[in-house]
């Protein structure tokens, strides 16, 4: 499966994917390129260090023209023959038209147990609410904010004295496992959407 990865910043989830690919844990995932909406995203250097092509579609050049920005991203992904998209720390909202063009072919990693704490600062929201368990979720992207069908989740304990940073760091470790596992399942064609639910069919190697 040919994949494009959208990033905005650090790129540690992208790194986890590219390392897994290098270690032959994602044999059916063919990463075609990484696209960033920020020209200075450190994740771009990570992509280059793995020999992955990069593209920058600079969001600051498309102020107030979101649909045009989306179309530029769509174009570069199609030029590279992508069949599905991984949002790995992509901090910009994609428009309905873009999402409709990639229906059930975009996945996102979010640092909470959805449907709790969607949107920004998920780890801070979890701490402020006082939950004892948080985690991360990989889900399909629909028109809502972090509302699409859930592929998999991993839990993380919230410990006494946790700060936003310490909780985020503990969740991030699980994100890296979750994103690799989800891309493995997706690339093996084992992820089936049934209404709001996702069924993972058995067989094959998860990696």
Catalytically annotated residues: 110
CA 67 to chain centre: 21
Q: Which is nearer to ligand GRF, 156 or 172 (CB)?
A: 172
Q: Sign (positive/negative) of CA torsion 11, 85, 188, 147?
A: positive
Q: ∠146-112-15 over CA atoms, to 5°?
A: 90
Q: How far apart are CA 76 and CA 156, in angstroms?
A: 36
Our CB check for ligand GRF shows the closer of 89 and 207 to be: 89
The number of C-alpha atoms within 13 Å of 130 and in the hemisphere containing its C-beta is: 0
First to last CA, the chain: 15
Q: What are the distances in angstroms from CA 7 to CA 10, 50, 123, 205, 207?
A: 8, 15, 19, 27, 23
- Number of residues binding to ligand GRF, judged by CB under 6 A: 14
Q: Which stretch binds ligand GRF (CB under 6 A): 18-26, 105-113, 148-156, 182-190?
A: 105-113
Q: Crossing angle of helices 12-22/42-49, nearest 10°?
A: 10
Report the C-alpha gap between 181 and 151 in whole angstroms.
10
For ligand GRF, which stretch binds (CB under 6 A), given 2-10, 65-73, 92-100, 193-201? 2-10
Binding residue for ligand GRF (CB under 6 A) from 21, 38, 69, 110? 110
Closest-by-Cβ residue to ligand GRF is 89
CA distance 144 to 153: 19
| Of the candidate residues 70, 162, 175, 181, the single one contacting ligand GRF (CB under 6 A) | 175
Q: Which residues pair with 180 in a beta bridge?
A: none
Report the residue from 4, 59, 111, 148 that binds ligand GRF according to the rule CB under 6 A.
111
- The verdict on 37 binding ligand GRF (CB under 6 A) reads no
Q: Which of 4, 89, 149, 207 binds ligand GRF (CB under 6 A)?
A: 89
- Residue 9 found at the interface with ligand GRF (CB under 6 A): yes
Residue 175 CB, nearest approach to ligand GRF (Å): 5
Contact between 148 and ligand GRF per CB under 6 A: no
**Residues at the interface with ligand GRF (CB under 6 A):** 7, 9-13, 43, 88-89, 109-111, 172, 175
């Amino acid at each position: 499966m040919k994949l494009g990865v959208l990033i905005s910043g650090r790129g540690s989830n992208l790194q986890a994917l590219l390392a897994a690919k290098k270690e032959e844990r994602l044999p059916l995932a063919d990463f075609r390129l990484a696209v960033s909406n920020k020209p200075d995203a450190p994740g771009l250097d990570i992509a280059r260090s793995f020999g992955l092509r990069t593209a920058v579609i600079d969001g600051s050049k498309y102020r107030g023209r979101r649909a045009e920005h989306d179309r530029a991203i769509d174009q570069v992904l199609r030029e590279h023959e992508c069949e599905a998209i991984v949002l790995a720390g992509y901090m910009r909202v994609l428009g309905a038209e873009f999402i409709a063009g990639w229906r059930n072919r975009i996945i996102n990693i979010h640092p909470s147990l959805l449907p709790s704490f969607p949107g920004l600062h998920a780890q801070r929201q979890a701490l402020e609410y006082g939950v004892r368990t948080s985690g991360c979720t990989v889900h399909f992207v629909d028109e809502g904010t972090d509302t699409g069908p859930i592929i998999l989740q991993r839990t993380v304990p919230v410990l006494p004295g946790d700060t936003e940073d310490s909780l985020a760091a503990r969740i991030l470790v699980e994100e890296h496992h979750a994103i690799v596992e989800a891309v493995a399942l997706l690339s093996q064609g084992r992820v089936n959407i049934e209404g709001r639910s996702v069924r993972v069919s058995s067989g094959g190697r998860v990696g």
